[in-house]
Homo-oligomer: A and B are copies of this chain.
Amino acid sequence: MNEPLSEAPSVAPLSETELALFNRWWHAANYLSVGQIYLMANPLLREPLQLEHTKPRLLGHWGTTPGLNFLWLHLNRIIRARNTSVLFIAGPGHGAPGIVASTYLEGTYSEYFPEVSQDLEGLGRLMKQFSFPGGIPSHAAATTPGSIHEGGELGYSLSHAYGAAFDNPDLVVACVIGDGEAETGPLATSWHSNKFVDPATDGAVLPILHLNGYKIANPTILARIAPRELAALLRGYGYEPIFVEGHDPDPMHQKMAAAMDLAFDRIAAIQKAAREDGKTERPAWPMIVLRSPKGWTGPKEIDGLRTEGYWRSHQVPFSDLTHPGHLQALESWLRSYKPEELFDESGRLFPEIAALAPAGTFRMSDNPHANGGQLKRPLRLPDIADYAVAVTSPGHEIGESTRVMGDWLRDVMKLNLESRNFRVLSPDENNSNRLNAVLDVTNRAWNAETFDYDDHLARDGHVMEILSEHTCQGWLEGYLLTGRHGFLSCYEAFIHIIDSMVNQHAKWLKTAAEVPWRRSIASLNYLLTSHVWRQDHNGFSHQDPGFIDHVINKKAEFVRVYLPPDANTLLWTTAHCLQSWDRINVIVAGKQPEPQWLGLDDAIRHCEAGIGIWEWASNDKGGTPDVVMACAGDVPTLETLAAVKLLREHAPDLKVRVINVVDLMTLDSPSQHPHGLDDASFDALFTLDRPVIFAFHGYPQLIHKLIYRRANARNFHVHGFREEGSTTTPFDMVVRNHLDRFHLVSNVIDRVPGLATRAAYAKQAIRDKLVDHTRYIAEHGRDLPEIEAWRWS
């Protein structure tokens, strides 16, 4: 069943001389790969291999590596022949031995890490550092020159590749996808990214599906379906696959060279048709399927057990080097690549082999897009003052915060359209999230069938919508990592779908910050709207505020959480986030009509501090309050102010201080987060001993987790989401979770001793009110009119 399909090219583009050189490069890359996995000394086997030359713990992955080395070599041929800029993405998880080897052979590794020099000593360092304490991991990472893609968690290579290709018309992104990774959900849908590419204004992605047949311990699905089924699948995804299959190196080199020629010819033809001939139909982009043995060129058998082309080659084909015959097997394997024909006396790659690499930034290992920060241009941002909501008195005006933000984003888009470096993404929620205005100046990216009644679809649109949070996130990461800017809006509950991708991006940011030559990239910005409190209509499945909890576990330097309570604070926050770098900024804000509290000047002052007393809502007049009412989030702010108003009515003497938190991390200790307030400021706000009734957008324990070190921690009583969701009304959502004004007031009564005399009466009134509420919504299906019409003033 392994015969190639008919479309595999049968020409032989390589001369005998080239073929010999190609094999030597490949041998060199494979040799260095095996060396990295096994050796910590004697890098060129100038003396017989001894146990002490090998690493005590053998780690790192051989299986996918020779295939990656093979592909890198053949892409280099294309780059040299065509002066094409190619970015390489290594999807196979643990392919670093190959990627690092190829990067070293191109000289780039030594340029970035001078101590890993192009000589015997450098070779020794190269080998020792791999999967070694203080060294480098066994997958491509932020430490790998030429890489924008961490190979640890699988699934995101192809969406990263497309993200890199958008708005980079002169770039080809060669994306190797392992047949293991191809089984993941995120990868399986990211093939459809080709419906969002404009051949005229975007670059091209060349997917290379690498079938080596085995994962850690199991065969892979795509390697074990009939070739015609596989071809149908890939054509169904919209690609024209070119198959390169086999084992014997010389014919494989010829086939791959021909396949690469064909693929790049097709890419050029597609781009010419779109750019010069005005062709508008979506093309079938070429892709390559490489079917080669796992652990290609490695030992065929070890201890009588099948190794090459089998799962035993996945990581280290044999590990216990004290086992009889293993050390010899390793030495034979290494010597099979003939290191003496690859590296000169000093340990330097022979120049005729080195000449196979392109020069300077044409080397994939030094492609400027892979260190995107160096290409990044700041966004041109309109003045938020021109979009601010006029607030005549706090809470008087009603506005849809995200719609105001949408107006501003429209003009961000407009000002940067010419630079083509800003995209707005969402899983089919752009308009639902009230960012419609952006479509006044651009369209939704779409390159599939279109009907005349369709709405704002265009091949070069800069709003990206696909019903896949994974793909949105992957595209955006690829776009940011190559030096551009973006903004992702999502329903709050469903952003958990990409929890794990956020982890990996946070890890990338932390590691990249420790790599001196990595330049800062634009922040990853989220707007979470359609949030837990306003998903009353969609019900429990749409209600979850836990993404904040997830994000703040990441390294503090890189994460920020903002809860702007109204439109002007949201404007400031959004503008702030779009000017920041190397951060993961989470903004949670409502899209429903809601009171507007702060005029722009007040909003700016409040946001710059991140937290502050709202004097206009407080009546402690600079003295010590009886109770602190704190709030974070738009709905909690509303309920807190409604509670304060009730308290003024029922207990006019009570001294209440209202604190609003926009920048959640101000609550954290300064030893834990750079935005954490110092203790003196914190204590000045929250007092040392007064009850703090805290209304929070998310899970209450999160606040306790942030403030447990503070002096007044014991007196914090936090109201938030208690996992009590349902299909109901907005006000009933807060009632069910005790975040409503009545429960807040009731808690104040319980906590402030001086109120005891009135307590019974007030609590009964509150209970009656809640009974009214429950009866009313059951009959009318909406909140009590007095709740809907409530105003602060």
**Which residues of A approach B to under 8 Å, CB–CB?**
1, 40, 55-57, 59, 128, 131-139, 141, 150-155, 180-181, 183-190, 192, 195, 215-221, 224-226, 229-238, 306, 310-311, 428-432, 444, 446, 448-450, 453-455, 457, 465-471, 493-494, 496-497, 499-500, 503-504, 507, 510-511, 537-542, 544, 546, 549-550, 553-555, 699, 701-702, 704-705, 708, 713, 723, 725-729, 732, 777-778, 780-782
Contacts and interface: CB of A to CB of B under 8 A. Distances in A.
A589 B152 CA distance: 21
B467 A154 contact: yes
A495 to B, nearest CB: 8
A665 to B, nearest CB: 13
Given A40-B781, A186-B185, A455-B217, A727 B135 contact: yes
B137 A541 contact: yes
B782 A56 contact: yes
19 contacts: A59-B538, A132-B781, A133-B729, A134-B726, A138-B538, A181-B467, A184-B470, A185-B470, A187-B189, A216-B431, A217-B465, A221-B448, A235-B236, A236-B236, A493-B500, A496-B503, A549-B549, A553-B699, A553-B723
A311 B180 contact: no
A515 to B, nearest CB: 13
A189 to B, nearest CB: 4
A549 B723 CA distance: 15
Contacts of A725: 507
Contacts of A723: 510, 553-555
Nearest to A151: B541
A235 B224 contact: no
Nearest to A702: B705
Given A56-B781, A184-B189, A225-B238, A494 B153 contact: yes
B185 A187 contact: yes
A326 B591 CA distance: 26
A705 B716 CA distance: 13
A550 B782 CA distance: 33
B777 A133 contact: yes
Contacts of A226: 449
A537 B466 contact: no
B188 A138 contact: no
Given A236-B236, A503-B496, A510-B723, A219 B457 contact: yes
A444 B554 contact: no
A540 to B, nearest CB: 5
Contact of A539 (B139, B189, B219): B139
Contacts of A180: 428, 467
Interface centre among A137, A430, A444, A497 (most CB of B within 10 A): A497
A225 B195 contact: yes
Contact of A132 (B185, B466, B727): B727
A550 B555 CA distance: 17
A254 to B, nearest CB: 27
Contact of A537 (B59, B537, B705): B59
Contact of A137 (B219, B539, B708, B780): B539
B449 A224 contact: yes
B541 A150 contact: yes
Contacts of A217: 428-432, 455, 465
Nearest to A504: B541
Contacts of A188: 185, 188-189, 192
A708 B706 CA distance: 11
Contacts of A702: 705
Contacts of A782: 56-57
Contacts of A233: 232-233, 235-237
A704 B708 contact: yes
A457 B430 CA distance: 46
A153 B541 CA distance: 7
A152 B539 contact: yes
Given A195-B221, A494-B153, A550 B499 contact: yes
A449 B225 contact: yes
Contacts of A232: 232-233, 235-236
A454 to B, nearest CB: 6
Nearest to A491: B153
